[in-house]
Structure 1
Amino acid sequence: MRKHSVVLLLVVIASLLLGGTANAAQVGFPIRNADILTKNALYASGRLPATPCPEPAVQAGNVASARNYLTTLVKCLNGTWAAQFAKARMPFSKPRVTFITKPQKICGGKWGKNVQAIYCNASRRIVVMLDSAVVDDPSDLFLMDVIAHEYGHHVQNIAGMWRAFDRLPSNGKAEYYEQSRRHELQGECLAGAFIASVWTSLHRTGADWKTLLGDDRESGDETGDVRDHGKGANIANWLDRGFKAAGPAACNTWIAGSAMVA
């Protein structure tokens, strides 16, 4: 699930952006007996193929143009991840994609507050909210991050990781929420890997990337009441890790130290 918030964080804990590696030894709640999460074949599949994916223009306030933009990106995501799963010798299938303009019941539940998009794992469907929060100011990379993040959850699903995550035992809320953060932060890392794979065709600048990282820092659990997605600094950290590696090898949140998934 991808959240969107306009709340500005007054403090960003910079040390979390630098803290440790994905192989940090100490973890709050280590993941045990779940090789499909910690040793998935997708991690060893290499960098995503560098492919062109020019961005269609999005007109401010125009839902149809935003939908066309996202539909184009989904085609790119399909092609990129299909090729990656072939490299990993794993079966691939495309997700369904639905667009809505106002909250409604999705995946058997109510649409959450500040949620821009969700992934329904049972039906393998991405649902994106095209409301004024994104349509009125579509010039940055937020829309791309939204669709790439939800597609990251689809990648987790067809790679078997979502089911393994659902079956993880947890002893109390603290452990459950840490597992949820590992799951969500991995989706953001996979989004960064995809964006890197098409970056040269986007005609974007380093300033655009910094703006997206800044948006991530402002969309963390600090803006809500539930610790299920991660601190803004960690969301930005995993997005940037995926981008720099341009592949899923950097996205093994399941073996990361607790500070990296706080």
Structure 2
Amino acid sequence: MEWRGRRQSRNVEDRRGSRGGSPFGRGGMRLPSRGIRVGRGGGGSILFLIIAGIVLWFLGINPLVLLGGGGGSMVAPGGSGQVTAERNDEMKQFVSTVLAETEDVWNGIMQSQGKTYPEPTLVLFSGAVRSACGSASSATGPFYCPGDEKVYIDLDFYDELAQRFGASGDFAQAYVLAHEVGHHVQNIIGVLPEFNRMRQQMSEVEANQMSVRVELQADCFAGIWAHFTEQKGLLEAGDLEEALNAARQIGDDTLQKRTQGYVVPDSFNHGTSAQRMNWFRKGYDSGRLSACDTFNNPV
């Protein structure tokens, strides 16, 4: 995707490095999380080191000097820390540019219908974050909170998407963000409020089935964004394939087969790989909101 040198959105809130909250919450692009376990024998030693480190600090002794033989930076200048910082800065520029492109597209679509488009805020976080929808950990994946009209993402998610799930490329990353912005569009046109009202009276299976339709419409809205991005001449060779591959890799059936070896259709809440690819493509091919009616058409 040709994104460098283009406008970056100002609606970006960088909370990386701040402490979030307890690790729970709902996500829009959930992937199976990886657990980290500590053996019984290691807990006491770790606790001892932490306490010892605190005591040394109070005594005016830098524990890093005792551990590493020096009191300078833990990462040498020009080393991996600098590379990581530069990459993170570039990723921030990238998602800020993609967000700006979604703003241009959805402002134009809403204006053509005589409506206004309240632009969402993108929150960058690391580890965990608090939102109006509660607290969430990075394991939740990117998500949209209608309570504060913000999209939340830990940029490390993109590494997992590429390395663990085989969905690499900048347009795969753009698709993820455009999908979450699609949920914002659903919120302002009334789809999400109606879904949240109806789900209170649904069984778990019925709520999952309705959730699939909500998620597939967000995929279709992401496709609409891709349609107009292509019209601007910003797509490069292979970009569409990157987005479709990402949709394939995060389909409920594909994820369940990869993580547990079998599928449970009643538990699907985002859609199968084929469905996600199909609805993204419908939005991309048409560029029209009317093509994204997942509630009155077979999915």
Asked if Structure 1 and Structure 2 have the same fold, meaning a TM-score greater than 0.5 normalized by the shorter chain, the answer is yes
1:243 aligns to what? 284
CA RMSD of aligned residues (A): 2.6
3-state SS of the aligned residue for 2:137? coil
1:156 aligns to what? 186
1:217 to 248, 268, 291: 248
Q: Which structure 2 residues correspond to residues 48-197 of structure 1 after superposition, within 5 A?
A: 62-106=87-131, 107-111=133-137, 113=139, 115-131=140-156, 132-133=159-160, 139-168=169-198, 170-197=201-228
Which structure shows the higher helix fraction?
2
1:227 aligns to what? 268
> What's the TM-score, normalizing by structure 1?
0.70
Deviation (angstroms), 1:139 = 3.1
Distance in 1 of aligned mates of 2:155 and 2:86: 10
Distance in 2 of aligned mates of 1:4 and 1:211: 18
Distance in 1 of aligned mates of 2:148 and 2:248: 31
Deviation (angstroms), 1:78 = 1.2
One-letter amino acid of the counterpart of residue 166, structure 1: N
1:2 to 18, 22, 29: 29
Distance in 2 of aligned mates of 1:110 and 1:126: 12
Distance in 1 of aligned mates of 2:252 and 2:278: 14
Q: Determine if contact 1:116/1:146 at 8 Å carries over to the other structure.
A: no
2:5 aligns to what? none
Structure 2's unaligned 5+ residue stretches are: 1-27, 33-83, 257-263
> What's the TM-score, normalizing by structure 2?
0.62
One-letter amino acid of the counterpart of residue 214, structure 1: N
How many residues in Structure 1 have an aligned counterpart in Structure 2?
204
1:132-152 Cα shifts (integer Å, max 9, x gaps): 325889634111101111110
2:10 aligns to what? none
1:171-217 Cα shifts (integer Å, max 9, x gaps): 42221111111111111100011011011422412x33123212211
Q: Determine if contact 1:119/1:153 at 8 Å carries over to the other structure.
A: yes
Larger radius of gyration: 2
Distance 1:65 1:135, change over 3 A: farther
Sequence identity percentage: 24
Distance in 2 of aligned mates of 1:214 and 1:249: 24
One-letter amino acid of the counterpart of residue 236, structure 2: R
1:86-115 Cα shifts (integer Å, max 9, x gaps): 1112232111111123244443033363x4
Distance 1:120 1:171, change over 3 A: closer
Distance in 1 of aligned mates of 2:194 and 2:289: 17
One-letter amino acid of the counterpart of residue 176, structure 1: A
One-letter amino acid of the counterpart of residue 251, structure 1: C
1:254 aligns to what? 295
